Amino acid sequence: MGVHVDRFAEPAAVARRSLVREIVAGGGLADPAWRTAFEEVPRHLFVPYYFASRTGAYERLWCEDPDPVRRARWLRGAYVDGPLATRVRDGELVSSSSQPSLMASMLEELEVREGNAVLEIGAGTGYNAALLAHRLGDDLVTTVDLDTEITESARTHLAAAGYHPTVVTGDGARGCPERAPFDRIIATCTLPSVPFDWLPQCRPGARILAPLSTGLIALGVREDSHGRSAEGRFLRTSAYFVPLRGGELPREGHIGGLPRRAIENELFRFLLTLTAGSLDPHEALSLWERERRPLRDRFGVTVSGGHQWAWLDDPEGPYAWPLGRSNGWASAVGG
């Protein structure tokens, strides 16, 4: 196999340094090891084409466009701090490459240590797996996706950039038992609840970071009388990802009669989604107002003994809501 020659290497390096400076200026990449990874992993090799949204439609930009102006637009867009639509079917977004500053934040919140084995749910373009492999080494990184087309292209992109983590085609909700145990699990797709199959694949002390509702939940895994349990709080930041394909997200329910100030409030919609199916929207509004519009980091999730629930302030407190079982979903998008 021939050596990949990157004819965009020089202008891409300039654009990459600019992107890193922007993320750092926004308070990200405080960890020097992650900053180096973002400086050295070439994102453009993972998005040889993507779709730019224009007037309600998607315009395809790609690296082999015969028009040099459009090629330049493609390269600039690859290093903009924003998400990129990488797969669109019938006008609907199927897969994307996440916003780099959000990826940086999630990777730092994952709190990896040297020697940690990491499972990524949602191979996407392979870019996030490459960042992990840059930090930890190929042998310690596994990425899973349901779609064969996605995993094959992720392998191709990774190889072009010089990385060779394990890429598995399979249901991300079932984890990857053949590669377990893991010290960290990170998901790049929105979940309706935490897959129970992940916990026995984690070492005690493992950390799980995943989008849930419109937030990011960080769970610590422990051994107790129920076997593996996990518990943790949401981060304060918002996070919007494409849903885990094959899984059905909870609906917000009937919101007629709710005041516009509540419906349009991003934090209230987080609570509404988190409690969907468990709490009437009007009850959710009463709680939200009584508790003085709580921020995300007052909420948490516990997974134990075959059950899981979300809670406000205290897992044993008066405000708790069951989350649905999550076995049997399909995997994933993002990265």
For the chain, the domains span 250-322
Q: What is the pLDDT of residues 41-98, one digit of tens each?
A: 999 999 999 998 877 678 999 999 999 999 999 999 999 999 999 988 777 777 789 9
Question: Which of these, 135, 130, 194, lies nearest to 164 by C-alpha position?
Answer: 130
Q: What is the pLDDT of residues 152-172, one digit of tens each?
A: 999 999 999 999 999 999 999
Provide CB contacts within 8 A for 236, sequence distance 6+. Answer: 295, 296, 297
Q: What is the pLDDT of residues 257-293, one digit of tens each?
A: 788 888 889 999 999 989 988 889 999 999 999 999 9
- Which percentage of the chain shows pLDDT scores above 70? 90
Strands (E), the chain: 49-54, 57-62, 84-89, 92-97, 118-121, 141-145, 166-169, 182-187, 202-212, 215-224, 227-238, 299-304, 307-312, 320-322
3-class SS at 95?
strand
User: Where in the sequence numbering do the catalytic residues fall?
Assistant: 95
Question: What residue has token string 């516009």?
Answer: 260
Q: How sure is the predictor about 244, in pLDDT bands with cuts at 50, 70 and 90?
A: low
The pLDDT of residue 325 is 47
- CA distance between the termini of the chain: 26
Taking all residues of the chain, what is their mean pLDDT, rounded to a whole number?
89
- C-beta of residue 95 within 8 angstroms of C-beta of residue 333: yes
Tokens representing residue 155 in the block: 């392998």
Query: At 207, phi and psi to the nearest 5?
Result: -125, 135
- C-beta of residue 170 within 8 angstroms of C-beta of residue 72: no
Judged against a pLDDT cut of 60, whether residue 306 lies above it is answered with yes
Q: What is the pLDDT of residues 187-222, one digit of tens each?
A: 988 888 999 999 999 999 999 999 998 899 999 999
Judged against a pLDDT cut of 70, whether residue 245 lies above it is answered with no
Q: Determine the Cα angle at 113 with ends 231 and 225, to 5°.
A: 30
Q: Determine the Cα angle at 205 with ends 202 and 208, to 5°.
A: 60
Provide CB contacts within 8 A for 320, sequence distance 6+. Answer: 309, 310, 311, 312
Give one DSSP letter per residue of 196-265, joined into a string: GGGGGGEEEEEEEEEEETTEEEEEEEEEETTEEEEEEEEEEEE---PBPTT--PPP----TTS-HHHHT-
Q: Whole-prediction pTM value?
A: 0.91
Tokens representing residue 99 in the block: 């916003």
- C-beta of residue 200 within 8 angstroms of C-beta of residue 227: yes
Judged against a pLDDT cut of 80, whether residue 329 lies above it is answered with no
